[in-house]
Amino acid sequence: MLDQAVAQELVEQVSPGQTLCEIVPRTGGDLSPVYEIRCTGPLPAFIVKAYAPRWRWRLAKEVHVYRLLASRGVTSVPSVLYVDREHARLALTLAAGQPFSEIGREFGDTATYAVYRQLGAVLSAIHAIEQDGYGYLTDRILDPVATNTEYMTRQFDKKLAEFSGDARIRHRMRQYVDERAGVFAACDSPRLCHNDVHEGNMLVVDGPDGPALTGLIDVENATAADPLMDLAKADYYAMHRDPVKWSGLLAGYGPLPADWAARVAVYRLYHALELWDWFASIGKTEHLAGIAADIEQMLDHGWDSDAERCGEVRSMMGSQQSHG
């Protein structure tokens, strides 16, 4: 728990003259605890992230990404209020609302469409930010490479080497990727990607004029990559080929390239593989069987693993082209 004296010091740095009222732990923050700091005065609340020694480098990353987004006019993301580099703490603006993962079940199709339309607009703005190379971001691109083919080949090689599950599944994944590696070259411009789009990171307020996406939070996983990587992860983690969510996303995002389905299919496999490796590395083995089943379904059917729903998504996309 964040110490009261420390919290008051942060209040003084963020908004001098205000007084601490309450420290409220927030959901999420598996790696870096997150707190809502409530206080008196013109700024009633803000967010503090506290980074463990192992993850101190993530502070520099989040500051870099949030300031980059601010410099490009991207809205619906937190803003940096104060950086305590000595103690690895970051103060951010507080976005109103609740995680969509907690309230989305109460939403009908129209409201869900509206939320995802706003998400699409935010992602489109993020993906407009070009990067100097492909690779994982900190406050710079680590080991950047010049092409998406180099990057995705490297990433699949790494994640397949880490995969300690069924050797038969690993072999099938290797074969699947090798047969489809040509799709990577279609992306010729690395873009900033959020790389953790799921409904727990989407803050929503349901107001009298309809729902508002008030925040897309947590940029700790940001990468420089093919924008379709973000859409593939959003699908695997949140949309699950739901036509209402996809149609809303596309209404806000804009047209996709003609080969979107081929790339998204391979990227969805990558995200499932990466998630399997992550859970295995932290001992959450209860999730592995389900992810392995997802992987096998992708290998068997690709994007078309649910023909009826995917047919609806395909019809919505039609011949749309752009965001290559």
Q: What is the 3-state secondary structure (H, E, C) of 147-168?
A: CHHHHHHHHHHHHHHHCCCCHH
**How many other C-beta atoms are found inside a 10 Å radius of the C-beta of residue 150?**
15
Residue 175 pLDDT: 98
Q: Judge whether residue 290 has pLDDT over 80.
A: yes
Residue 313 pLDDT: 57
Give the residue-averaged pLDDT of 91-100: 95
CA 236 to CA 41: how far, in whole Å? 42
Six-digit token pair at 187?
């992306």
User: Is the CA virtual torsion 190, 196, 199, 201 positive or negative?
Assistant: negative
pTM of the model: 0.90
Angle of helix 109-127 relative to helix 243-253, nearest 10 degrees, comes to 40
CA 263 to CA 278: how far, in whole Å? 22
Give the residue-averaged pLDDT of 199-218: 95
Q: Are 122 and 219 in contact (CB under 8 A)?
A: no
Q: Judge whether residue 322 has pLDDT over 90.
A: no
CA 314 to CA 260: how far, in whole Å? 10
Q: How confident is the model at residue 232 (pLDDT cuts 50, 70, 90)?
A: very high
Q: Judge whether residue 37 has pLDDT over 90.
A: yes
Q: Judge whether residue 309 has pLDDT over 90.
A: no
Residue 1 pLDDT: 79
Give the residue-averaged pLDDT of 212-224: 96
Domains of the chain with CATH codes:
4-93 (3.30.200.20), 98-321 (3.90.1200.10)
CA 107 to CA 99: how far, in whole Å? 13
Q: Judge whether residue 173 has pLDDT over 90.
A: yes
Q: Name the 3-class secondary structure at 93.
A: strand
Backbone angles phi, psi at 96, to 5 degrees: -65, 160
Q: Judge whether residue 312 has pLDDT over 70.
A: no
Give the residue-averaged pLDDT of 235-254: 95
Residue 54 pLDDT: 87
- Residues of the chain with pLDDT > 90, as a percent, come to 85
Residue 319 pLDDT: 38
Residue 306 pLDDT: 46
Q: How confident is the model at residue 303 (pLDDT cuts 50, 70, 90)?
A: low
CA 102 to CA 228: how far, in whole Å? 26
Give the residue-averaged pLDDT of 38-46: 91
Residue 308 pLDDT: 47
Give the residue-averaged pLDDT of 290-317: 72
Q: Judge whether residue 48 has pLDDT over 70.
A: yes
Model confidence pLDDT, tens digit, residues 100-159: 999 999 999 999 999 999 999 999 999 999 999 999 999 999 999 999 999 999 999 999
Q: How confident is the model at residue 212 (pLDDT cuts 50, 70, 90)?
A: very high
